Amino acid sequence: MKDVRLYSYWRSSCSWRVRIALGLQGIDYEYVAVHLVRDGGEQRTEAYERDHNPMRQVPVLEWTENGPQRLTQSLAILEMLSERGPKSLLPTDPMARAKARELAEVVNSGIQPQQNLATLQMVESLGGDKRAHGQEVIARGLASMERLATSAGTFLVGDTVSLADLCLVPQLYNAERFGLELNAFPTLVRAAAACAELPAFIAAHPDRQPDCPEQD
């Protein structure tokens, strides 16, 4: 992979997952900031939709390899990076692999789409309470993960980082943004704490991204 570019937003949880994976694989990349909020969202411009992602979302990974390549959808990107290596993001045992994907999908399709920017804007436009809605879906999803994480070790599945951890960490950050207490999820918190020690997770944190606003 040459000339790797990641279209990302500092606080996008799906972009964050991919930043961690790129770090774990030791892949250098250019960070292309897409501001999801300013002026209605740069991801909704005609140029972005046409040239990068018709779904009008981040992340998008672009690179050169037998010509220009592009891939959207964070889980598809994670699976590809896992297959390319050098570091597999899935266990070798078949049931453990299935468990890692199950937990990743609880976040990817079960929680995040219910509390992403588009959904919260829709809830708000209908006069609903977007914070309460986000809290509810995140709390239920994390409670489910806590119960489904039956083979957790140091990390969410056994003692090796997997896709599940890459999805977990940004989701817990969102939980805290929504004001949720994490005490009810000791297994998840323990795995996230182990992740927080790893350089790839440290480097991928929103606060370290070039488009993170300066804080007082």
- Is 186 a binding residue for a copy of itself by CB under 8 A? The answer is no
Give least dist CB 73 to a copy of itself, A.
4
Instruction: Out of 26, 85, 127, 199, name the contact with a copy of itself by CB under 8 A.
Output: 127
Compute the Cα dihedral for 204, 209, 212, 216 and give only its sign: positive
Residues in the chain, total: 216
- Is 123 a binding residue for a copy of itself by CB under 8 A? The answer is yes
Give least dist CB 116 to a copy of itself, A.
9
Phi-psi region of 160 (alpha: psi -120 to 50; beta: other; left: phi over 0): beta
Instruction: Out of 120, 148, 194, 212, name the contact with a copy of itself by CB under 8 A.
Output: 148
Give least dist CB 54 to a copy of itself, A.
4
CB 162 within 8 A of CB 155: yes
| Other CB atoms within 10 A of residue 18 CB | 27
- Is 84 a binding residue for a copy of itself by CB under 8 A? The answer is yes
195: tokens are: 């992740």
Part of the chain binding a copy of itself (CB under 8 A), chosen from 18-26, 28-36, 69-77, 153-161: 69-77
Residues 101-120 that bind a copy of itself (CB under 8 A): 101-102, 104-106, 108-110, 112-114, 118-119
| Other CB atoms within 10 A of residue 7 CB | 25
Integer Cα distance of 24 and 22 in angstroms? 6
CB 29 within 8 A of CB 6: yes
Residue 176 belongs to what H/E stretch?
A: helix 163-177
Q: What x-and-dash track marks residues 8-47 binding a copy of itself by CB under 8 A?
A: ----------------------------------------
Q: CB-based burial of residue 97 (10 Å sphere; 0-12 exposed, 13-18 middle, 19+ buried)?
A: middle
Instruction: Out of 88, 135, 144, 187, name the contact with a copy of itself by CB under 8 A.
Output: 144
Write out the residues near a copy of itself by the rule CB under 8 A: 53-55, 57, 69, 71-77, 79-80, 83-84, 94-95, 97-99, 101-102, 104-106, 108-110, 112-114, 118-119, 122-123, 126-128, 133, 140-141, 143-144, 147-148
